[in-house]
Structure 1
């Protein structure tokens, strides 16, 4: 038989070991919980759409869209696009594209944020932008006369009720081409830089309704308007508002349309009081085309200097930015 003292000692040691075992199990469970929490924190610390989606202000800053509009764009394009980089979700692909457009970041910067290769970002942009352009282009729609009249803002009604469109040209900087012909064709005397020029049309209600293909910055406003296909959209009694650079009165008259531009002082010492008042009223409504172009260019890629390697994507870029501008809040007050 085991002596009682030995038995008691063994019993005490067993009890102590059992307690230590329970404590170790509790410590292990705590460590597992902490490990899961750290993994979750690490996941949210990595830059991704998952780390942004609950922060509406951050989504708006990085994409220029509200969370609801971001999800709408994703649902609209997701059936036509593909995952280029497996470590990124479909949401991350769209986020990368919109960050490129909204913030004008370099591919290297975006790649660093997502912890991928720079070539992966380039592949995503080259795959997604043409598809997004094709799918979203119907948002840039030439409205019927009935739609124009139905949505005519109050500020247009007294004097410009027949206004169909306000037009203006805008230029986007590009790097200087190495080809001498391309360099000459894209050099803009107005900007003193190589540019690509676009004709932009806006409805009185504040939507971009026309966007030409890109032309070399050397082209005149008159030639660009003639070559863009804009005249084919016009109907009799349409009224087009523009600035003084658009010397297209005769071309519009051939289609039964009217040009309204501010009065010139050329050949006069000064404008009459009536001409000054007419020009002032016209400027008050024509200013909206400059505001819509300003809103369009909040997608900062349009204010950067586009590398020659990305100029072939520029038409797709401007279409996507214009379409996204149209689904954001209107800049023209209805009343």
Structure 2
């Protein structure tokens, strides 16, 4: 909590009040003040330093006029501030460099203007008719009593502007009506403010299968519930990353083991899952998702970063290499019925994702793709003949070649003896594959000849008809639109996690379609 406070006596402006205003909802822009364009109500201005302007610092301190024990002069510290409301121009200027407005009990000490007198109370007017009545009544009483001294009658037949009973009742009724209207307006404003924080999209609202498929990419509500049930034990205790400054100093001690380290969250585990899936499926901006789920943009960004890393680590088990028996039992007919292709276990290809142009020149050179003529990130994917992702590499810059990416990605380490790897003509990795006692199957090239033979054309057609499965798998991977369009530069560090999560979800959808 901020300890900065305006040091003028009687002024309560400080960092706490300023943070409270920033977290309030702006009625004009329908979002919190922290992310809207409204001007802050005040600013906390620091004292001039001793080295820069000692005279101004001394004058500021004198005008504050505070005292401490022993009637000693007060000196400002590092947290001492004077808010902008005490300056004529809202800040120190050449014309008004010192605070003069509302300086508390020190106001009379440094101002030359004398204190104004209170205005006299309004006198009640008496008309001439009332005066004549009073005079006549006094004369009659004087004559009857025979005394020259005036006597006062108990009957008040004059009018000094005092409202009648009917006027009082009408005024009371009018004030009651105004009070009722103000209460109604206050209740309406409170209801509208509550509706601003109402979530437009949530886990509970996705009850229709069509809505689930549109927002998350999963086929139905049952698949969404199954995925949440698998992730729920750890998803409900996930902790958001808040920067290195949020790491506690020293050794943390707990009286009891907490269910979740850190403060309570505004988003439940179910809504975290839905928000992350919507980010991948729709490619929405963080501000849009924050408005949909009724949180701030910063909370949405931290939640997506933490949940993506968590889902990537938990769902990575879905990207695995099946056993030999499982792969043989699930071979499609076009592979199983032909001896040349029945040993194919991997169909590999490289795919690229457009990213925003980085400002760093070295990163810009590493991500430039001569094939796409754009800044891209490239990764190597491998599928089984039935379309199951069994390997996804890390994302590299688009400048790297397919051969080099295959060598450094770790794909060659998962090959077994006698397996066949099917690839495009742009993968000259036969020697690397042979070192792991496997075989490479690529279409024949026409290097050294002007035209391919009839047999080479037939072989190329057969291999292309089977290698097209990896193209379909990549197209299915890019149905998650965050990987289809240009990835913002802020999300580039999370590309590895996004590709892993998308590939695992594709495997999940593939299994749901089968069974």
Question: Same fold by TM (over 0.5)?
Answer: yes
Q: Structure 1's 271 and 280: CA in aligned 2 closer, same or farther, altered over 3 A?
A: same
SS class of match (1:50): coil
1:264-317 CA distances to partner (integer Å, 9 max, x unpaired)? 123222211111111111111100000001001101110122222221111011
1:160-211 CA distances to partner (integer Å, 9 max, x unpaired)? 0010100000011111111111111111111111111100000012100000
- Supply the RMSD in Å over aligned alpha carbons: 2.4
| Alignment-derived partner of residue 110 in structure 2 | none
Asked if 1:205 is matched to 2:386, the reply is yes
Asked if 1:59 is matched to 2:212, the reply is yes
| Alignment-derived partner of residue 273 in structure 2 | 94
Asked if 1:130 is matched to 2:309, the reply is yes
Alignment of 1:158-197 (within 5 A): 158=338, 159-197=340-378
Alignment of 1:250-269 (within 5 A): 250-269=431-450
Tell me if structure 2 keeps the 8 A contact 1:44–1:50: no
**What is the CA distance between 1:258 and its match in structure 2?**
1.2
Asked if 1:107 is matched to 2:301, the reply is no
The match for 1:220 among 395, 401, 408 is 401
Aligned-partner Cα distance in 2 for 1:61–1:69: 13
Give the helix-richer structure, 1 or 2. 1
Alignment of 1:216-295 (within 5 A): 216-295=397-476
5+ residue gaps, structure 2, are: 1-190, 241-263
5+ residue gaps, structure 1, are: 1-37
Aligned-partner Cα distance in 2 for 1:172–1:256: 32
SS class of match (2:234): coil
| Alignment-derived partner of residue 226 in structure 2 | 72
**What is the CA distance between 1:332 and its match in structure 2?**
11
Of 167-176 and 64-73, more deviation after overlay is shown by 64-73
Aligned-partner Cα distance in 2 for 1:252–1:230: 10
SS class of match (1:171): strand
Tell me if structure 1 keeps the 8 A contact 2:276–2:304: yes
**What is the CA distance between 1:141 and its match in structure 2?**
0.4
**Equivalent pairs, count:** 294
Q: Structure 1's 49 and 332: CA in aligned 2 closer, same or farther, altered over 3 A?
A: closer
| Alignment-derived partner of residue 47 in structure 1 | 201
Normalised by the size of structure 2, how large is the TM-score? 0.54
SS class of match (2:233): coil
